């Protein structure tokens, strides 16, 4: 099955979409990557979902990527004697280390690292920002706050700290167990939540040892301020607009989305735009016009993938949500303005052989109006550099490594095919032409441009370009 668009669609699985038949329907509607949210999935459930996705993959004959999303540190207040408390803006309210049930004056905060890190003037946002507190006095055992806005607080509501750099890593004890479990099942991507600093990625890399690619979710101001360092240590980024919109001013989020997307594109790292893209489709069969515009902006920006969360995981219309996103993305990429916008955002290539070859392949392919760029890639690096150029031509990524084809299923423009490694240059050219012909990217008499590394089978040695005709039998012509 060949997609008619270059941007990829990432669909979250959940109660509405966990059965094998539904996973297949979501793939057929346009999903390229499936996300398993470890905040709501136990290990047995995760293994079941992975097995079902792999079964669908074998049935459709196309590589499908699996993203396991780790929960990260969830910071919450304690409980109240009456389940909740009514507050008044301007009053004093205290968070402390006393485990006794809370009331309208105080509540337990079972996180000593917060009590010790918050300074006077820092903001504390409770329940996704519905309650806004400002610290006035701190002792290390309690935080005396002023209520700025909001009137209610209840049991176990989440705490966000946009001004505070917490001395904790992004990997909790639950995350460590989840990470071991998902790596054992062979997932392709692991998403790390609430990244604050580059060091947060080190522990995950040490455990993963290359068994899965690492995606950093950018959802905290601290991560935005150190974006370049985090990109360097990540394999991909996610613009997690939900928590980002809680910890930063809502009006700042669109600009930050563009900043992250463009920075990732410059680095040649995949970037996913996520959260509330088609939120109304949780309960409605069609989206709002504003949501359609939101999805289109991410596509115009050149994001690698756009994501559905509750829309596909727990909504009433999971298949319709994927199909709608597919239709929006396809139409945007047909827009006459799309190529110019994508080209205007393109960065200069880095001074490497792979980037020079990728740039030349795009320029030659577009100048000669070739049918496709065919790239041989073992580790996936060559494919990523080809996608960084955002060519108008389709990109066919050929790899003998199934894990590589699955990881690249997340990447913009990639049509991934698992194939044996070529044995000779002639075999390489014939194989590229035959697959382009078979996959519907070219007919007899069309030309493709092929990039590869010589000697063959050497990872990271992209140094060759070849233009070839597709013959009448699908093999290379003269």
For CA atoms 107, 113, 116, 119, the dihedral sign is: negative
**Selection from 6, 65, 11, 24 nearest residue 190 by Cα:** 65
- Cα(139)–Cα(14) distance, integer angstroms: 43
Beta strand segments in 193-296, E: 213-218, 236-240, 271-274
* Catalytic residue from among 76, 134, 258, 466: 76
Q: Please confirm, yes or no, whether 262 is among the known catalytic residues.
A: no
DSSP, collapsed to helix, strand or coil, labels residue 181 as: helix
Q: Please confirm, yes or no, whether 385 is among the known catalytic residues.
A: no
DSSP state of 349: P
* Catalytic residue from among 35, 52, 265, 390: 35
Hey, how many other C-beta atoms are within 10 angstroms of the C-beta on 174? 15
* Catalytic residue from among 138, 275, 451, 462: 275
Max intra-chain CA distance, the chain: 83
**Selection from 45, 334, 49, 50 nearest residue 186 by Cα:** 50
- Cα(267)–Cα(39) distance, integer angstroms: 30
* Catalytic residue from among 106, 217, 362, 447: 217
Q: Which two tokens stand for residue 46?
A: 């995760």
What b/e string do you get for 126-160 counting C-beta neighbours within 10 Å, with b at 16 or more? Answer: bbebebbbebeebeeebbbbebeebeebbbebebb
Q: What does residue 52 show for φ and ψ, rounded to 5 degrees? A: -70, -40
Q: Please confirm, yes or no, whether 330 is among the known catalytic residues.
A: no
Give the strand pairing for 131-138 and 123-126.
Answer: antiparallel
Asked whether 195 and 171 are in contact (CB, 8 A), the reply is: no
Residues in the chain: 478
- Cα(183)–Cα(32) distance, integer angstroms: 20
Q: Please confirm, yes or no, whether 241 is among the known catalytic residues.
A: no
Q: Where in the sequence numbering do the catalytic residues fall?
A: 35, 76, 217, 275
């Amino acid at each position: 099955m060949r997609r008619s668009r270059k941007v990829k669609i990432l669909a979250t699985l959940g109660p509405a979409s966990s059965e094998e038949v539904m996973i297949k329907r979501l793939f057929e509607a346009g999903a390229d990557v499936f996300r398993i949210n470890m905040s709501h999935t136990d290990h047995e459930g995760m293994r079941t979902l992975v097995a079902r996705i792999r079964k669908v993959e074998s049935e459709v004959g196309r590589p499908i990527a699996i993203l396991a999303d780790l929960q990260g540190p969830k910071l919450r207040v304690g409980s109240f004697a009456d389940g909740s408390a009514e507050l008044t803006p301007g009053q004093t309210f205290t968070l402390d280390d006393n485990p006794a049930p809370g009331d309208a004056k105080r509540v337990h905060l079972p996180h000593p690292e917060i009590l010790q890190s918050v300074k006077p003037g820092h903001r504390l946002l409770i329940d996704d920002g519905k309650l806004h507190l400002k610290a006035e006095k701190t002792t290390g055992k309690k935080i005396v706050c002023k209520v700025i806005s909001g009137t209610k607080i209840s049991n176990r509501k989440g705490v966000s700290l946009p001004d505070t750099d917490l001395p904790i890593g992004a990997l909790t004890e639950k995350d460590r167990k989840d990470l071991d479990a998902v790596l054992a099942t062979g997932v392709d991507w692991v998403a790390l939540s609430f990244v604050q600093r580059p060091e947060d990625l080190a522990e995950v890399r040490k455990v993963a040892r290359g068994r899965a690619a690492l995606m950093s979710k950018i959802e905290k101001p601290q991560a935005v301020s150190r974006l370049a360092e985090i990109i360097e240590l990540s394999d991909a980024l996610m613009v997690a607009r939900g928590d980002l919109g809680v910890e930063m001013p809502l009006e700042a989020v669109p600009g930050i989305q563009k900043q992250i997307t463009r920075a990732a594109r410059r680095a040649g790292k995949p970037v996913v735009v996520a959260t509330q893209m088609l939120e109304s489709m949780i309960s409605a069969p069609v989206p709002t016009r504003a949501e359609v515009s939101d999805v289109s902006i991410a596509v115009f920006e050149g994001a690698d993938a756009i994501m559905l969360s509750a829309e596909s995981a727990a909504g009433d219309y999971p298949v319709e949500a994927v199909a709608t996103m597919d239709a929006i993305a396809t139409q945007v990429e047909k827009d006459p303005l799309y190529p110019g916008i994508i080209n205007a955002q393109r960065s200069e290539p880095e001074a490497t052989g792979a980037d020079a070859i990728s740039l030349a392949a795009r320029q030659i392919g577009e100048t000669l109006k070739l049918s496709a760029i065919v790239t041989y890639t073992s580790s996936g690096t060559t494919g990523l550099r080809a996608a960084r150029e955002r060519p108008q031509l389709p990109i066919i990524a050929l790899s003998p490594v199934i894990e590589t084809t699955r990881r690249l299923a997340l990447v913009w423009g990639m049509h991934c095919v698992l194939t044996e490694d070529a044995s000779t240059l002639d075999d390489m050219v014939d194989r590229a032409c035959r697959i382009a012909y078979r996959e519907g990217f070219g007919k007899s008499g069309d030309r493709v441009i092929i990039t590869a590394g010589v000697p063959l089978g050497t990872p990271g040695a992209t140094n060759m370009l070849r233009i070839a005709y597709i013959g009448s039998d699908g093999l290379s012509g003269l």
